[in-house]
A = this chain, B = another copy of it.
Amino acid sequence: MNASVTPKGSLEILSQIEVEKLKKVGENGLYALFRQCALAILNTGSDSDNAKTIMEAYPDFEIEIIQQDRGIRLNLSQAPANAFVDGEMIASSREMLFSSMRDIVYSETERRRNRSDLSSGTGLTDYVFHLLRNAGIFRTGEDPNMIVCWGGHSISDEEYEYTKEVGHSLGLRGLDICTGCGPGAMKGPMKGATIAHAKQRHDRSRFLGLTEPGIITAEAPNPIVNELVILPDIEKRLEAFVRVGHGIIIFPGGAGTAEELLYLLGILLDPDNIELPFPLVLTGPKSAEPYFQQLHEFINDTLGFEAQQKYKIIIDDSEQVARTMAQGMQEVKEYRRRLNDAYYFNWSLKIQEEFQNPFEPTHENMASLALNTGMETHQLAANLRRVFSGIVAGNVKETGIRAIEENGPYRIHSDKSIMKPLDNLLKAFVKQRRMKLPGSEYIPCYQLVE
């Protein structure tokens, strides 16, 4: 498909210098990054989660940026047909194109400006704040109501139906949804909430998608997302989730979901956060009960009893999940009001720098992660998080897949006491087909070594 699109709103105005930077190919240019994100967005609804395959499927896709009388125009050629209806681009896809343009330009500008500050935790948080503010996602007049839904992109039909039900129950209570913006558990709750919001005449629905260039290709934003932010890397994206979301629901998922849970537990276990209310529910249909039992045991075996107290498991009761969240919103509101903390950005949440600093899952970095019972809990959580982050990369991200192709599976070293539960969990993920979208045999991208 070829198309020529302009933004409907007026947020996406670029200066001549910014346009130049965006068009520029090569080392300092942003074109390659923009092209990749645009391709991912237009590829919505695709049934592949292999970023490499997707990129290779549209070698001739090009995107031309034109400054014109009424603003910016994008001319696309050889674009995937998914995002078009009778030759016209779906409005949400068009919006997302311009959102990604906005974020890519701004991230880069800010990154340069903050270069010196990006070494400190405060500087990193400030960076995330600026990116989100520029994306226009802060709403000052509104009470806490943003529920983050995490969970697998590859889930069973029954699980998918359940995520819709939960979304419907949340939506009936006027709650908004934030996800990682791909398919599966990231789409279902938005779909359910869309219907519920229609019933409640809730016409300012927010369906916030937070992603990053590495994952967007494998998990293309579903078109219900009406606010898209592309953070520069996985750690910024995780920080955005926990600072913007007011409560979190975790559906069944695979390595990515485990990464998210470990990240969150690692933070909530921080003594500085001990009094902070943060509603966290793990939930799924009846059939997912064994899954959550296993996860629950894994947490017990690695992070211990205290970590288990940070969440609540609810099986097959979407109304109960929604009521728990709605009530949690009251507690969050009370707490923030008392501390004079903003509703729209969780300033008081302490995030240790080991959770903020980017982790690059090279074979070397993966091999040198320390995983043993003697470590402090939050340090262990941080490293376990990195393990799963690496596995996600090896499964679906372009660079990860290439690295595995070249060097074979990651080698992960650990204590027996950690390795055993980790091995069990990973094997279960594989068996339950949670690692990748179905279609072929899953070949593990990792190897556990004692």
Contacts and interface: CB of A to CB of B under 8 A. Distances in A.
A443 interface: no
Contacts of A336: 69
Contact of A71 (B92, B198, B224, B342): B342
Interface in A89-109: 90-92, 95, 109
Nearest to A224: B198
Nearest to A94: B201
Interface in A304-348: 323, 326, 333, 336-337, 340-344, 347
A273 interface: no
Q: How many copies does the complex hold?
A: 4
Given A340-B66, A343-B69, A199 B91 contact: yes
A191 B199 CA distance: 10
Contact of A138 (B10, B139, B224, B341): B10
Interface residues of A, number: 59
Nearest to A347: B16
Contacts of A191: 195
Contact of A173 (B10, B86, B173): B86
Nearest to A92: B199
A73 to B, nearest CB: 9
Contact of A200 (B70, B92, B138): B92
A272 to B, nearest CB: 16
A253 interface: no
Contacts of A199: 90-92, 223-224
Nearest to A10: B140
A17 B85 contact: no
A139 B71 CA distance: 9
Interface in A152-201: 172-173, 191, 194-195, 198-201
A15 interface: yes
A131 to B, nearest CB: 11
Given A71-B140, A86-B326, A337-B69, A224 B201 contact: no
B205 A226 contact: no
A166 to B, nearest CB: 14
A85 B319 CA distance: 10
A67 B339 CA distance: 10
B342 A69 contact: yes
Residue picked from A16, A195, A199, A333, most chain B C-beta under 10 Å: A199
20 contacts: A9-B140, A10-B139, A13-B133, A15-B126, A17-B122, A67-B340, A68-B340, A68-B342, A69-B333, A69-B340, A71-B342, A71-B344, A85-B172, A90-B199, A91-B200, A91-B202, A92-B198, A191-B195, A201-B226, A203-B203
